[in-house]
Structure 1
Amino acid sequence: MPEYGPLKGETVIFTGTAKSLEVFDLVKQYGGVPLSIPLIQVKEIKDSTDEVKLKTCGDFDWLIFTSQSAVKAFHSKMDYFNVSVIDIPSKIAAVGTQTAAALEKIGFTVKFIPSVFSADVFVKQFKPVESKEMKVLFLKGSLAGSIIREELPFHVEEWTIYETGAKHDSIESLVDIVKTTEKCSVLFASPSAVRVFKESAVPVIGWEGYTIGAIGHVTEKALLEAGAKVDVKPEIYTLKELVESLARRKDEFQ
């Protein structure tokens, strides 16, 4: 660990599901101590209709993915039912570079990514040249909003392939760390994590005494509505950029 750095002595808590060690290494490079304490957990939804639905995916003009969790669940179904990328000639849209990378890792070619990694920007920028008669399938989680279905100007079907739930057994350790650590940052990557934190941790530790980071404007809005003050939000909505922004902020105050 570096002797000096903008995050020296800082404990940085990631409250989302762990997907990459890259951001943990980045925190260490800046002198901080990264901790993964997920407040949410995701689980693939398995149903008797999965095989039929999976084998009709190729009938859609576009498939839309907004999270790495959706990609993971979809890939699991492909493996289970022996469906390959070749069997799904649909064009692929992804919200975010990390989601796109997860899709390309399993063999898909991503044709569209919005400039800002959120559903509200996606529906404004997603304008394929095909006619409005085209069919679109949104692969989603149980807590996904309705904006993609409601605001795209063509027929959108949805397939809920994973569910998101609270991970309450993480709360006690997170609260203890925040209470006993002099320098601490808590990073949020989704409104779901904000909701769990507000319900379980805030009654004990409140919103003061630690730095709060949000990965994007939707999560920032959830934090503000919950009564928090958002200290850090990156221009590009990735965890890497959130850590970079946190380091810059800490460097300014040293």
Structure 2
Amino acid sequence: MKSNNRLLGERIVLTGTSITKKAQSKIEALGGQAIHLPLIEVAEIQNMEDQQLLHQSQNMDWLIFTSQNAVHAFANKLQKYRFSADQWCSKIAAVGSKTAQSLEELGFSIDFMPTTFSADCMVIEFNEILHNSDQCMFMKGSMAKDTLKDGLHCQLAIWTIYETVVCTKYLEEMRELLSKEKCTVVFASPSAVDTFAQYILPSINWNTLQVAAIGHITEAKLSEYGAVDIIQPSVYTMESVIDEIAIRKELEQ
């Protein structure tokens, strides 16, 4: 019988831009401690063309969202300019169940979601239903790679709707914690890994901590910097990575 306290005494460091109450409650319910020390932060990009771009997006066959951050920035613009989901006839493509949920909360319906929550998988599966004449708009972050731009077979307009920057506020706290305590550090994006490698890794050895990744792209980035024995669930969600950490800890007991 599995223990309800499989993470008893474990410290789980979450490095993403935000921590959901669901994730925190899940860690605590398993006996662990959730510590949120974000390595990156995001901000909506605002410019004078926003209203024009909203109108332009209404004429697209598809709108593409690959993160909740893009949805949140888009939602802010809808509110600012008093637009609503019922003004769009565009189909919606979303990467990730959380991204899809955020869009549905705005009133949009999801017409496509890849089986694996990653951009490279999306290119393969989305191209199966796209036509070369389809007009698509990708709502992206400033650090998004060119995977969709280079791979999708459609007429792709790109709207860089939010920016990702390094969050330095918690770096010293993280260094001190990891130098004294055995922790599991969870990375949800390659950007967070890059920040960790630049500011934390010079003073912390991979062997002194356990690392977990959400998504194979994030896992690959960790491997580039020398991390080994990376926990990475087959389902790319925070809840799944917490489950995988709990399974690993239980097997180690």
TM-score, normalising length from structure 1? 0.96
Counterpart in the other structure of 2:148 = 148
Question: Aligned with 1:222: secondary structure?
Answer: helix
Counterpart in the other structure of 1:215 = 214
1:206 CA displacement: 2.1
Question: Aligned with 2:115: secondary structure?
Answer: coil
- For residues 120-135 of structure 1, the aligned pairs below 5 Å read 120-127=120-127, 129=129, 131-135=131-135
Q: Distance in 2 between matches of 1:89 and 1:171?
A: 44
Question: Aligned with 1:165: secondary structure?
Answer: strand
Question: Aligned with 2:163: secondary structure?
Answer: strand
Relative to structure 1, the CA distance from residue 80 to residue 128 in structure 2 (aligned partners, 3 Å threshold; closer, same or farther) is farther
Relative to structure 1, the CA distance from residue 148 to residue 31 in structure 2 (aligned partners, 3 Å threshold; closer, same or farther) is same
Provide the aligned C-alpha RMSD in A. Answer: 1.3
Moved over 3 A (4+): 127-131
Aligned residues of 2:8 and 2:32 also touching (Cα < 8 A): yes
1:63 CA displacement: 0.3
Question: Aligned with 2:54: secondary structure?
Answer: helix
- For residues 85-124 of structure 1, the aligned pairs below 5 Å read 85-124=85-124
State the percentage of identical aligned residues: 38
1:207 CA displacement: 1.3
- For residues 1-254 of structure 1, the aligned pairs below 5 Å read 5-127=5-127, 129=129, 131-181=131-181, 183-254=182-253
Aligned residues of 2:62 and 2:137 also touching (Cα < 8 A): yes
1:19 CA displacement: 4.5
1:87 CA displacement: 1.3
For 2:210, the aligned partner's letter is T
Q: Distance in 2 between matches of 1:14 and 1:124?
A: 30
Aligned residues of 1:224 and 1:230 also touching (Cα < 8 A): no
Which region of structure 1 is more displaced relative to structure 2, 198-207 or 37-46?
198-207
Q: Distance in 2 between matches of 1:188 and 1:216?
A: 9
Relative to structure 1, the CA distance from residue 129 to residue 216 in structure 2 (aligned partners, 3 Å threshold; closer, same or farther) is closer
Q: Deviations over 1:87-113 (max 9, x none)?
A: 121000000001001111111101111
Question: Aligned with 1:136: secondary structure?
Answer: strand
Q: Deviations over 1:54-99 (max 9, x none)?
A: 1111100000000000000000000000111111210000000010
Question: Aligned with 1:35: secondary structure?
Answer: strand
1:142 CA displacement: 0.1
Q: Deviations over 1:121-172 (max 9, x none)?
A: 0000014646321100000000001110111111111000000000012111
Q: Distance in 1 between matches of 2:175 and 2:7?
A: 20
Question: Aligned with 2:169: secondary structure?
Answer: helix
Q: Distance in 1 between matches of 2:45 and 2:4?
A: 46
TM-score, normalising length from structure 2? 0.96
Structure 2, gaps ≥5 residues long: none
